[in-house]
Amino acid sequence: MKGINLSSSADFTLLGFSDQPQLELILLLVISIIYIVTLLGNITIILISYLNPKLHTPMYFFLSNLSFLDLCFTTSIVPHMLWNLKGPGKTISYTGCVIQLYMVSWLGSTECVLLSVMAYDRFNAICRPLHYGIIMHSKFLQQLAALAWISGFLESTVQTSLVFHLHLCSHHRVDDFICEVPALIQIACEDTAFLENELTVATVLYVVIPLGLIVVSYGCIIRSVLKIKLTEGRRRAFGTCGSHLIVVVLFFGTVLCFYIQPKSTYAQNHKSFVILFYTIVTPSLNPLIYTLRNKEAKQAIKMLLAREPT
């Protein structure tokens, strides 16, 4: 079959929900609201983490990194998605597709590593409380955050470079509403075995291994908490981990559903809604989960709102 190099300047058509036009107006409204909530929630987390001295802790350092990541992640996807939903045109330029794929891969991989780093922080806080301040010092926090961001950057560089050297079938019709690796592989008209194997390796490195480290960390945490005799002590210990654990389940649950579940077992519409959930809904839930379950965060927000303008 005749193909063309993906490095050409041709635009791409993002099919998304174009086969269900009755959904598009609803999605336009719902996604707009969710995006506003995401912006407000994550900006609030960053502000209170920076402005309130009581929140200058390792947990809020990593949480502000997560909030900044979620801001960038949704902004790389949502504005263009809303533009496509409001009209008949569903295209994205070659440059736009490259940037979007790069950002989605970078930030998605970074979040996987960052969530495992946050689990390590909770492990030290509960299992090594006497040494917590020594272990989680400022320089080490910065190194862990840098590890998450740089590792995601490297993965995205490799992934994007490989994808945009593929040859496509001439229609340029992407069966998705964003530029993602699996969707672009589907429209290649050459052997993609190497790239699929590389994607499997990346999934193991950036999804399976971080998730495994999180499970091990929480196994140690649960064992330590069960040794606490006082019920109040147990409740407080689990409370410090509850928000992070909920975020982990939401994020990794949807990622695993999309990347590891065999493609033949679910319909395209189901896949699209799964992608919608982990790319748009989850980033909006993260700040809500942390603030609603944390007294310190709620107090910091009240103080921020109560500040009188100078």
DSSP string, 178-215: S--HHHHHHTB-S--HHHHHHHHHHHIIIIIHHHHHHH
Q: Distance between alpha carbon 218 and the CA centroid of its chain, in Å? A: 20
Highest averaged pLDDT of the listed ranges 122-136, 157-171, 286-300: 122-136
pLDDT tens for residues 165-201? 888 666 678 878 888 888 888 888 888 888 888 888 9
The CATH number of whichever domain residue 217 belongs to comes to 1.20.1070.10
- pTM score, whole prediction: 0.88
Angle at which helix 94-127 crosses helix 209-226, to 10 degrees, equals 20
CA 72/CA 87 separation, integer angstroms: 25
Question: Which of helix, strand or coil describes residue 88?
Answer: coil
Among all chains, which residue has been given the structure tokens 């992407």?
174
Per-residue pLDDT at 6: 47
Task: Give Dmax over CA atoms of the chain in angstroms.
Answer: 70
Query: In the chain, how many domains are there?
Result: 1
Share the mean pLDDT of the chain.
Answer: 83
Report whether 166 contacts 195 (CB < 8 A): yes
Q: Of 210-214, 242-246, 277-281, 304-308, which range is least confident?
A: 304-308
pLDDT digits (tens, 9 = 90+) for 192-210: 888 888 888 998 999 999 9
Domain that includes residue 216, residue range: 3-306
